[in-house]
Amino acid sequence: MAGTIDYLLQDSEASLLAVNNNRPKLTEKGFTEGAYTALVEARDGLRATELAQQKAVKFAEDKTAEQNEKMNRITELLRKAKNAAKSAYEEDPRSLALFKIGEKIPGSVKKLRTTCEYMFSIVDERKADLLQSGLMQTDVDALSAASDDLAAADAAQEAAKKLQAGATLTRDAAAKLLKAKLTKLRNFVKAAFDKNPEIALQFNPIPKGRGGGKPGDTDEGTPPPNEPTPLAK
């Protein structure tokens, strides 16, 4: 989608240049100041919403990275607690079973939260043995807060995803509006300068190769789709 937006912005710049170069002749044919202002505002609107969308994508990526880092850190904490349990209860299979030795640590936030809550309850009960087997009090404290930490990170990531989705919808609407304004301008030029092909030619879409399409492709419209861009994963 970035290439499509770049193309549309470049095409609008070329069209505005053609308008400025032929302003008196356009005005004579009925091109109003309002039509010019609407075109400029549509171009500026797409610029602004594209920037906001890019920032929203980066923000969502950062929150996802923060969540993944927290999940990795908590997963390592659970492994440390299990290793301490192995050291403390090497000859006690019933105690080892309480620490879910041999079971895989979950990879989803929801299941990892449940595991953290369970493991903390067991670790807290057996803390005296575990603190003599490699676990530190800071580890116990971190495990106590792990479930809430995961919930906070997950909520922040989900909020960032919604922000990105909203910014994408707004950007796509701005692209659709600018596309419509360019189409309106070109239809006006075709009608007003049907006897002046040298003027009408200046308003043709730029080659798509300049914005990510196929070189030499010059259809009447510009390429932004009317459908919202899928959310980046």
Quick: pLDDT tens for 116-150.
999 999 999 999 999 999 999 999 999 999 999 99
Q: What is the mean pLDDT of residues 83-108?
A: 95
Domain-embedded: residue 231: no
The domain total for the chain is 1
Domain-embedded: residue 144: yes
Q: What is the mean pLDDT of residues 58-85?
A: 97
**Rounded Cα distance, 207 and 55, in Å:** 29
Domain-embedded: residue 175: yes
Q: Report the SS3 class of residue 208.
A: helix
Domain-embedded: residue 168: yes
* Residue 225 pLDDT: 36
* Residue 228 pLDDT: 37
Query: How many Cβ atoms sit within 10 Å of the Cβ of residue 233?
Result: 7
Domain-embedded: residue 223: no
| pTM score of the predicted model | 0.79
Domain-embedded: residue 78: yes
Burial class of residue 76 in the structure, from the number of CB atoms within 10 Å of its CB (0-12 exposed, 13-18 middle, 19+ buried)? exposed
Q: Per residue in 31-55, pLDDT tens?
A: 999 999 999 999 999 999 999 999 9
* Residue 3 pLDDT: 83
- Domain of 120 in residue numbering reads as 2-210
CATH code for position 173: 1.20.1260
* Residue 82 pLDDT: 97
Q: Per residue in 207-233, pLDDT tens?
A: 986 444 433 333 333 333 333 334 443
Give residue 196's identity as a one-letter amino acid code. Answer: N
Domain-embedded: residue 40: yes
Q: Which two tokens stand for residue 149?
A: 């930490």
